[in-house]
């Protein structure tokens, strides 16, 4: 036997005893040792067995409770460290974590309601499904106040809405190329695209846009692309990157795209919290983009529209700098799309204008037959 006197050793708990008392599994205790969250007092250098002091039980119990809240391990370590020197600060940290969880849950509840409506066919039974619909739209892009050029692009036409956020040496060419390729859909199809073709048409257009952007001769140049194509009763969505599409319907406002960012992947895997994501140093790193090393796998989606729907497409110059509640207020409170895009660009400028910004707003309305 090596170090540790017998008297000291008798007070130590084996990992099995410590696991039973703390309600943490042996497997978890090994992991918490590896990441420095709860290292044992002594590890037998010959057998590798871990031993704990009874005084470590308080920290172990706190870890177990915080795991029940699904707090990420890095944050638990922070709370536990605080708790040893500044208990009110540890309490504040837990309170703040929970406020974020509740805000996140509220936002997701709106998405849940929307999905339940869609899957239960509630929308199809609405009489307005047969009512002719009209679409009004506006697009606007702005350099902001800091960047030397505008690498964002926005387009809105009778059937197509798109935003693109270019990056790299030729970022401006990348974003405008992406949108130009999408606009070919309008030229190729004289009449409306059939519903059955909608996603194929969008997927092919995204693949062509990727090829066109890949061919641009600028170092590390590429672009995001978020676009919607209108059939008269449905909107098809194609999405690559971290620009976003939102829908305001029946007082609920939610993001319908999924960010293709490293940080979003880490969030999905539960490795970081939404709050950690906001300040993460790699938060702008894209896992999918036009012109990137791998062929992008776009998010494709069809939405049955309803009269009253309001759609927003925007680049991260808006969504990363302006709180969602303010964006929602503009979308819900501005009667015409042109006024809405102007107000959104203004909000982004007032938030510092640190990035380029591009947005498209589209309103779906019941066709007013009395005017014909
Ligand atoms: Mg941007």
The Å distance, Cα 172 to ligand 1 centre, comes to 11
Q: Find tokens 């006024």 and name the residue.
A: 339
Give the SS3 label for residue 283.
coil
**How far is 155 from 129, CA to CA, in rounded Å?**
27
When comparing pLDDT for 8 and 67, which is higher? 67
Q: What is the crossing angle of helices 15-22 and 57-68, to 10°?
A: 50
| 334 CA → ligand 1 middle, Å | 24
Distance 68 CA to ligand 1 centre (A): 37
Q: What is the token pair recorded at 182? A: 């999408």
For the chain, give the mean pLDDT.
Answer: 87
62 CA to middle of ligand 1, Å?
A: 40
140: CA distance to ligand 1 center in Å? Answer: 14
Q: What's the average model confidence in pLDDT over 279-307?
A: 86
* Position 290 pLDDT exceeds 50: yes
* pLDDT cut 90: percent of the chain above it: 57
For the chain, residues classed under CATH 1.10.1660.10 are: 6-100
Centre of ligand 1 to C-alpha 317, Å, is: 5
Residue 331 CA to ligand 1 center (angstroms) comes to 20
pLDDT of residue 35: 87
DSSP 3-state of 228:
strand
Of 88-102, 122-136, 335-349, 352-366, minimum mean pLDDT range: 122-136
* Contact by Cβ (8 Å): 209, 252: no
In which band, very low, low, confident or very high, does the pLDDT at 294 lie, cut at 50, 70 and 90? confident
Given a cut of 80, whether residue 43 has pLDDT beyond it is yes
Find the 109 Cα to ligand 1 centroid distance in Å. Answer: 28
* 137 CA to centre of ligand 1 in angstroms: 22
pLDDT at site 124 = 52
* pTM of the full structure: 0.69
Q: So what's the pLDDT on residue 99?
A: 82
Distance 211 CA to ligand 1 centre (A): 21
316 CA distance to ligand 1 centroid (A)?
Answer: 5
- 312 Cα: distance to centroid of ligand 1 (angstroms): 16
Each residue's pLDDT tens digit, 254-287: 999 989 988 888 887 777 877 788 778 877 788 8
What spacing in Å lies between the alpha carbon of 319 and ligand 1's midpoint? 9
Please compute the mean of the pLDDT values over residues 216-235 and round it to a whole number: 89
Q: Angle at which helices 198-214 and 171-188 pack, to 10 degrees?
A: 150
Output the CA 10–ligand 1 centroid distance in Å: 61
Residue spans in the chain of domains classed CATH 3.60.40.10: 131-371
pLDDT of 190 reads 58
Confidence at 8, pLDDT banded by 50, 70, 90: low
Ligand 1 geometric centre to CA of 136 (Å): 25
CATH 3.30.429.10 fits 131-371, yes or no: no
C-alpha distances out from residue 298 to 168, 242, 288, 305, 342, Å? 21, 12, 8, 21, 29
pLDDT band per the 50, 70, 90 thresholds, residue 192? low
Q: Go through the chain and tell me how many residues it has.
A: 372
pLDDT at 277: 81
The answer to whether 151 and 210 are in contact (CB under 8 A) is: no
| Tokens matching residue 326 | 């303010």
What would the pLDDT profile of 112-160 be if each residue is shown by its tens digit?
877 887 787 765 544 445 678 899 999 999 999 899 999 999 999 988 9
The architecture (CATH level 2) of 6-100 comes to Orthogonal Bundle (1.10)
Ligand 1 geometric centre to CA of 145 (Å): 13
pLDDT at 369: 65
List, for residues 210-219, the tens digit of each pLDDT value: 999 999 987 7
Q: Rounded to the nearest whole angstrom, what is the distance from the C-alpha of residue 150 to the centroid of ligand 1?
A: 10
10-17: long-range contacts, CB 8 A cutoff, minimum separation 24: 11/53, 11/54, 12/41, 12/42, 12/51, 12/52, 12/53, 13/51, 13/52, 13/53, 13/54, 14/49, 14/50, 14/51, 15/40, 15/49, 15/50, 15/51, 15/52
Ligand 1 centroid vs 149 CA: distance in angstroms? 12
């Amino acid at each position: 036997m090596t170090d540790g006197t017998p008297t000291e050793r008798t007070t130590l708990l084996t990992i099995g005893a410590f696991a039973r008392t703390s309600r943490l599994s042996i497997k978890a205790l090994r992991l918490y040792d590896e990441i420095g969250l709860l290292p044992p007092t002594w590890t037998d250098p010959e057998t590798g067995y871990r031993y704990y002091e009874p005084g470590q039980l308080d920290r172990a119990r706190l870890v177990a409770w915080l795991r029940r809240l699904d707090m990420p391990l890095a944050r638990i370590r922070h709370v536990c460290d605080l708790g040893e020197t500044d208990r009110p600060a540890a309490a504040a940290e837990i309170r703040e974590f929970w406020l974020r969880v509740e805000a996140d849950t509220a936002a997701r509840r709106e998405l849940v309601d929307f999905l339940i409506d869609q899957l239960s066919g509630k929308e199809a039974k609405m009489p307005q499904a047969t009512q002719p619909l009209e679409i009004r739209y506006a697009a606007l892009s702005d350099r902001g106040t800091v960047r030397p050029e505008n690498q964002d692009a926005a387009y809105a036409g009778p059937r197509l809405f798109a935003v693109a956020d270019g990056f790299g040496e030729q970022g401006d060419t990348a974003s405008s190329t992406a949108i130009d390729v999408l606009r070919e859909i309008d030229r190729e199809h004289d009449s409306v695209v059939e519903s059955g073709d909608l996603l194929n048409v969008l997927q092919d257009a995204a693949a062509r846009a990727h090829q066109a952007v890949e061919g641009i001769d600028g170092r590390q140049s590429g672009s995001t692309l978020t676009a919607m194509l209108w059939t008269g009763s449905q909107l098809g969505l194609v999405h690559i990157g971290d620009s976003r599409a939102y829908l305001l319907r029946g007082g609920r406002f939610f993001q319908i795209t999924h960010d293709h960012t490293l940080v979003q992947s880490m969030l999905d895997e539960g490795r970081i919290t939404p709050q950690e994501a906001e300040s993460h140093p790699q938060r702008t790193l894209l896992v999918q983009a036009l012109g990137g090393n791998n062929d992008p796998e776009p998010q494709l989606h069809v939405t049955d529209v309803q009269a009253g729907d309001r759609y927003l497409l925007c680049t991260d110059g808006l969504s990363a700098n302006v709180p969602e509640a303010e964006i929602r207020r503009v979308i819900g409170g501005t009667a015409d799309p042109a006024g809405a895009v102007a107000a959104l660009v203004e909000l982004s400028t007032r938030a510092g204008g640190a990035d380029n910004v591009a947005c498209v707003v589209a309103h779906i309305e019941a066709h007013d037959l009395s005017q014909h």
